[in-house]
Amino acid sequence: MAQRHGIKVVILMGVSGSGKTTIAHALAVRTGFAEQDGDDYHPAANIEKMKAGIPLSDDDRLPWLRAIAKAIDHYADSDTPIIIACSALKRAYRDILVHGRDDVRIVHLTGSPDLIARRLTHRGGHFMPPGLLDSQIETLEPPQPGEQILTVDIDAPVERIVDDIVAALHLPDRTGVRAS
């Protein structure tokens, strides 16, 4: 199914609270792709730092990014299309994840800091405290020329965001359902 479209991996990037996990799930249902949360690849030490309100350094993130890149290779090379939610805040991080593959696409979920902060205050059960949003916004390097990243505004219903991604990337639509 994904071979026909050339895309085997879609990475949903953005700061915490931008809806990566929610959109990944809805997009996986729509396309039939598998889904994976990049947070599942964090070493325990990273999670403990974030729980304590301590921003991660580049050194902290490197093993995490390499683990996700390895998973990308595994899924793509086994012809299992997948949606992965991963903050991928810096271009260097995105370069590690994509590592020259032409079957990986990145979608940047973006919105106003106020909207994201409101979402974070209403979210429960996640290790990332709302207090780290500012450090993520400071770390974020928006897509740069040559990265071929689709940017999608999150100030819309989930179904509309998924519609936009499916249409822009020409992904398979196994439901045929479209938001009005």
pLDDT of residue 42: 92
pLDDT of residue 4: 45
156's CB contacts (< 8 A; 6+ apart) are: 164
Please give the model's pTM, rounded to 2 decimal places: 0.87
Pairwise CA distance, residues 12 & 19, whole Å? 9
Pairwise CA distance, residues 15 & 9, whole Å? 19
Pairwise CA distance, residues 11 & 75, whole Å? 13
User: Would the CA dihedral through 35, 23, 149, 14 be positive or negative?
Assistant: negative
- DSSP string for 119-143: HHHH--S-SS-GGGHHHHHHH----
pLDDT of residue 29: 96
pLDDT of residue 93: 96
* Strand blocks (E) in the chain: 9-13, 34-37, 82-85, 104-110, 149-153
Pairwise CA distance, residues 60 & 78, whole Å? 29
Low-confidence ranges of the chain (pLDDT < 50): 1-4, 126-127, 179-180
Write the CA distances from 162 to 68, 74, 86, 147, integer angstroms.
Answer: 23, 25, 17, 21
pLDDT digits (tens, 9 = 90+) for 24-72: 999 999 999 999 999 899 999 998 988 888 888 999 999 999 999 999 9
Furthest-apart CA pair in the chain: how many Å?
A: 45
DSSP 52: T
Pairwise CA distance, residues 14 & 87, whole Å? 5
